[in-house]
């Protein structure tokens, strides 16, 4: 009796694993399609996951205001974009 249940259990597990794999692949294809639809990979402010303007915590002082001090920037050898000054940054 037990030996007749093993193939049934095996088939159920294989079907469950295949359905999970297809679901994960479908989500991956949807995500890659969304990134292709966006302009050069940049997201609009309205498309932020929170729906709010988010500021990195290290940019805030003790009172919660954006710091006025100069920030350290790092450039890599393959970076061809000109550096942006603090005055021209979009807020």
Q: Tell me, what's the pLDDT at 18?
A: 97
Q: What angle do CA 45, 46, 50 make, to 5 degrees?
A: 90
Helix/strand number for the chain, H first, E second = 1, 0
Residue with tokens 């949807």: 30
Q: What is the mean pLDDT of the chain?
A: 76
pLDDT tens digits, 44-80 = 545 566 667 778 888 888 888 888 888 787 777 776 7
pLDDT tens digits, 2-46 = 788 999 999 999 999 999 999 999 988 887 776 665 544 455 545
Q: Tell me, what's the pLDDT at 70?
A: 83
Q: Tell me, what's the pLDDT at 8?
A: 93
């Amino acid at each position: 009796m037990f030996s007749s249940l093993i193939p049934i259990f095996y088939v159920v597990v294989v079907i469950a694993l295949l359905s999970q794999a297809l679901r994960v692949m479908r989500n991956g294809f949807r995500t890659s399609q969304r990134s292709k639809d966006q302009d050069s990979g940049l997201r609009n402010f309205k498309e932020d996951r929170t729906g709010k303007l988010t500021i990195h915590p290290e940019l805030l002082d003790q009172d919660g205001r954006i710091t006025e001090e100069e920030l350290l920037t790092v450039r890599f050898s393959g970076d061809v974009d000109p550096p942006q000054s603090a005055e021209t940054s979009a807020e």
